[in-house]
Amino acid sequence: MRWVNHHTHPGDTRYHVFVFRELHHAERFEERCNAAGIPFERHEEGGEVMFGIAKNHFKTALHANHMVHAEFRSPFIPDRGWRWGLLMFTGAVVALALLGWLTSTTALGQVESGLPWELDVVSRIHVPSDALGMEPTVVIGQGVSATWIPKVGTEFGLRIHRRLKEGWTLGGGVEWVRREHALVVGYVNDTIGVATSDTLPQMRSLAYRIPVLGGIRVPIGFNDLEIQASGGLGLEWKTSETVVSQLVQTAGADHIVQAYQGRTSYVTVPILAEVGLQRRASGDRPGWYVGWYWSSPLGRDAWAENTWTSGSTSGLARNWLNLVVTGLDVRLVLPE
C-alpha cells in the first residue's frame, strides 16, 4: 500500500513515477513541470495519469507535486462558521485557563513579595511602513515579475506579566496573527508577443505565536501612567501554506495566474520589540496600554512563488518573502 502518489519506476530505477487519478491534477502537474523545465514522459492507463521523471529532477518534481496538491486541497475545516467558532472556543478556553491560573497565584505572589501579576487583552493593527522594514517583496524570473505588497493585518491575544523589582517585568502569552498581502503579477514574453499585468485576490496567512519578553516600566508620576519598553523572542507556528489562483479570460488566449506562500519550517523564532504608554489597573478599575510594536523572523522562514500559464507557455519565479510586521498596539489591562 502506497501512502504517497510517487514511486521508483519498477523497470528502470533511474526514473521516478508520479501518479494522478484526477485529470485536472495531472494537467496542473504537467504545466508546472514545463514551467520548471523538467523533462518527462506521460502515460495514461486504467484511469490514472503517470509521469516518468529522471531521478536527477526528482527534488524539483516533488516540489511541483506538493504545489499541485496544495492548490486543490480543501480546508481542514471547510465551513467558515465552524472555523471561526473553533477559533473563538479555543480563545475562550485559553482565556479561562490563564484567568484561573492568575487568580490562584495572585494572592500568594502579593503576600510573598507584593509584586502583582497582570493580564492584558491584546489587539493590534499592522501598519505597513517601509522605514521600519515592512516593505514589498519583488519576485522576478522566467518572464514573471510580481510584487507582494504588505497590507493592514491584525493580531489578537492574551498577555500575562510579572512585575519584578525596580520596574522590571517578565511576560508571555498567546497570540493569533493574520498577515495580508496584495499581489500584482506581470508576465512578458517577447517571442510570442505577450505582456500582461494582473491583480490577484488578497493573500492571507495565519499563525499562532507564543511571545516571551523582558521589559522595564518607568512611572511618569501622573495618573498611574508608565512608559514601557520590552523586547524578546517568540515561537510562531504557521497553520498552513497558502495558495491563491485566478483564471483570467481575455479576447486572446486565457491564462492562469497563481501565487503561493511556502514555509521553510513549521515553527519559527521572531524577534519582538515593543514601546508604549500604560495606565496601571487599580482596584476594580481596568487600565490600558497604547504603543507601537515591531517583529521580524530570525532568518528566512517563508518564500513567495508566482506562476503564469497559458496553454504550453508558462513562467515561474521565486524569492524569499519579507514577513516583518509593525503597527499599533492597544491593550486592555484587567484589574489585579
Residue environment code for 221-237, b if the CB has 16+ CB neighbours within 10 A, otherwise e: eeeeebebebebebebe
CATH of the domain at 219: 2.40.160
236 and 216 fall within a common domain: yes
251 occurs within a structural domain: yes
Whether the per-residue pLDDT at 4 is higher than 80: the answer is no
How sure is the predictor about 281, in pLDDT bands with cuts at 50, 70 and 90? confident
1 occurs within a structural domain: no
The most confident of 91-95, 209-213, 236-240, 300-304, by mean pLDDT: 209-213
How sure is the predictor about 104, in pLDDT bands with cuts at 50, 70 and 90? low
| Strand partners for 171 | 161, 213
Distance in angstroms (rounded) separating the CA atoms of residues 248 and 42: 27
Closest CA to 300 of 269, 254, 257: 269
109 and 126 fall within a common domain: no
Instruction: Give me the domain span that covers residue 50.
Output: 6-72
Whether the per-residue pLDDT at 120 is higher than 60: the answer is yes
Asked if 103 contacts 335 with a C-beta cutoff of 8 angstroms, the reply is no
122 occurs within a structural domain: yes
32 occurs within a structural domain: yes
184 and 49 fall within a common domain: no
How sure is the predictor about 26, in pLDDT bands with cuts at 50, 70 and 90? very high
20 and 130 fall within a common domain: no
Give the per-residue pLDDT at 59: 83
Instruction: Identify the weakest region by mean pLDDT among 59-68, 80-89, 237-246, 285-294.
Output: 80-89
Q: If you average pLDDT over residues 248-274, what whole number do you get?
A: 87
**Alpha-helical regions (H) of the chain:** 23-36, 58-72, 80-113
Cell numbers at residue 199, please? 491583480
Distance in angstroms (rounded) separating the CA atoms of residues 24 and 265: 29
Contact residues for 107 (Cβ-Cβ < 8 A; gap 6+): none
52 and 85 fall within a common domain: no
51 occurs within a structural domain: yes
Q: Is 79 left (phi over 0), alpha (psi -120 to 50) or beta?
A: beta
* Amino acid code (one letter) for 2: R
How sure is the predictor about 65, in pLDDT bands with cuts at 50, 70 and 90? confident
How sure is the predictor about 108, in pLDDT bands with cuts at 50, 70 and 90? very low
How sure is the predictor about 33, in pLDDT bands with cuts at 50, 70 and 90? very high
pLDDT tens digits, one per residue of 66-91: 888 777 766 555 566 666 666 676 66
Asked if 289 contacts 9 with a C-beta cutoff of 8 angstroms, the reply is no
90 and 157 fall within a common domain: no
In total, how many domains does the chain have? Answer: 3
185 and 143 fall within a common domain: yes
265 and 314 fall within a common domain: yes
132 and 257 fall within a common domain: yes
pLDDT tens digits, one per residue of 153-212: 999 999 998 888 878 899 999 999 999 999 999 999 888 888 899 998 889 999 999 999
- Exposure of 22 in the CB half-sphere (CA atoms within 13 A): 10
Three-state secondary structure call for residue 60:
helix
65 and 177 fall within a common domain: no
Distance in angstroms (rounded) separating the CA atoms of residues 32 and 61: 8
What Rg, from alpha-carbon coordinates, does the chain have? Answer: 25
CATH of the domain at 38: 3.30.70.260
Give the per-residue pLDDT at 166: 78
Strand extents, DSSP E, 137-238:
137-141, 144-150, 154-163, 168-189, 194-219, 225-238
Query: Based on the number of CB atoms within 10 Å of its own CB, is 5 exposed (0-12), middle (13-18) or buried (19 or more)?
Result: middle
Element (H, E) at 123: strand 117-126
Give the per-residue pLDDT at 107: 41
How sure is the predictor about 109, in pLDDT bands with cuts at 50, 70 and 90? very low
215 occurs within a structural domain: yes
229 occurs within a structural domain: yes
Alpha-carbon torsion, ordered 98, 223, 166, 168, to 10 deg: 40
Q: Is 286 left (phi over 0), alpha (psi -120 to 50) or beta?
A: beta
Give the per-residue pLDDT at 64: 87
Whether the per-residue pLDDT at 300 is higher than 50: the answer is yes
Asked if 210 contacts 286 with a C-beta cutoff of 8 angstroms, the reply is no
Domain boundary among 88, 114, 140: 114
315 occurs within a structural domain: yes
| 0.85 exceeded by pTM | no
96 and 106 fall within a common domain: yes
123 and 225 fall within a common domain: yes
Phi, psi of 155 (to 5 degrees): -140, 145
